[in-house]
Structure 1
Amino acid sequence: MFVSCSVIILRRTSPDIYRPFKSPPAPYLPLASILICLFLFLNLHTPSYIRCIVWLVIGLSIYLLYGRNHSTLVKTT
């Protein structure tokens, strides 16, 4: 869904940049992709939402803790 949003935004804000691949019907295919993803996401069961939030918290905590201990910006100051 984020990729589809990005395609639409980049087509509007930077129409002149080089693109080796162009999506066939530019605004319609990404919009259809966004709508289908939203439909699928809204039809998930509650345990799926809970698992998503739990894994998101686990992943973000690992990412932030690792980044804090291994950051080159922290080591240079």
Structure 2
Amino acid sequence: MIKNTPEKRLPTHSIFQVIGEGDNARWIRVGAGWSHRKDGKGMNLVFDAYPVVGRIVVREVPPAEPSGNAATN
């Protein structure tokens, strides 16, 4: 039997725009990522915003914060 309702999965990674270096860097959450289920060799990324400056960093979501709101570096 085929399921018609998709299973909701929480993001495994958070995507950040990082502006600056070291202690002066600003980390701004701009999206989320999900590891591929079958082989784990890739990810699906969803951006809420597209950064035009700085760099993009993808970090695992800590187990204590599965909602993806972790802003640690």
TM-score band by shorter chain is: under 0.3
- What is the TM-score with the length of structure 1 in the denominator? 0.21
Give TM-score, length-normalised by structure 2. 0.21
Q: Which has the higher contact order (CA 8 A, sep 6+)?
A: 2
Higher relative helix content: 1
